[in-house]
Amino acid sequence: MSLVVGLTGGIGSGKSAAARFFHELGAAVVDADAIAHEITAPGGAAIPAIRDALGPQFINDSGALDRELTRATVFANAAARQALEAVLHPLIRKEIIRRVKAARTPYVIAVIPLLFETGGYTELLSRVVVVDCPEELQIARSMRRSELPESSVRAILEAQASRSTRLAGADDVLTNTGSLEDLRVQVRALHGKLLKMASGQHPPKQ
């Protein structure tokens, strides 16, 4: 199996850009958010269990998860968030593992935004890369990208692992406080390092 590298970071940190740069360099990328969207789309694998756990009002007329209602609810209601996570996380983890095992590139980037919050990936990952920037920059970027109010972005931040927790669990850190080109340069350097590691096939983290 390919070397498996977990890529994580808080909202607005630049995970998607970093993952794109790794992909451009030839790495396979498996994205937990993309899988989450697939399984909550019309006919998705998670829809029946979400209906049972949260109620039919969370499923829209097309048969997909009502994302706006769900977002507003889960960040204000811890029990609802836990119920949703209990449905989604096992399905996402199972699909990540399946896609990682199917990859044929020297290393695979598994983009897992809630890596430290969900757990359960230790046996899969050989390395953890954290995309990092100050929280105020995360907030500014998130508000600009998603047009969410600051209060909503801060609620999301509070539900995620702290910056210090992520940094403490990182094997490598990509500092995303400058331009995208600055981030690309860091990704390129780490790509070279990971290729060398993959040729030696370091064992998963313990």
Q: For the domain that residue 113 is a member of, what is the CATH number? A: 3.40.50.300
Mean pLDDT of the chain: 93
Angle between helices 15-24 and 180-200 (to 10 degrees): 60
Q: How high is the pLDDT of residue 155?
A: 85
48's tokens: 């029946």
Kindly tell me if the per-residue pLDDT of 69 is higher than 70.
yes
DSSP 85-146: HHHHHHHHHHHHHHHHHH--SSEEEEE-TTHHHH---TTT-SEEEEEE--HHHHHHHHHHHH
Is 205 contained in some domain?
A: no
Q: Beta strand 3-8 with 107-111: parallel, antiparallel or unpaired?
A: parallel
Domain membership of residue 30 (yes or no) is: yes
Does residue 197 register a pLDDT over 50?
Answer: yes
| Residue 2 pLDDT > 90 | no
Question: In total, how many domains does the chain have?
Answer: 1
Per-residue pLDDT at 8 exceeds 50: yes
How far is CA 165 from its chain centroid? 15
How does residue 169 score in pLDDT terms, banded at 50, 70 and 90? very high
Confidence of residue 206 (pLDDT cuts 50, 70, 90): very low
Residue-wise pLDDT tens digits, 95-153: 999 999 999 999 999 999 999 998 889 889 999 999 999 999 999 999 999 888 999 89
Q: Which domain holds residue 154?
A: 3-200
Q: Rounded to a whole number, what is the largest CA-CA distance in the chain?
A: 51
The verdict on residue 206 lying in a domain is no
- pLDDT score, position 159: 84
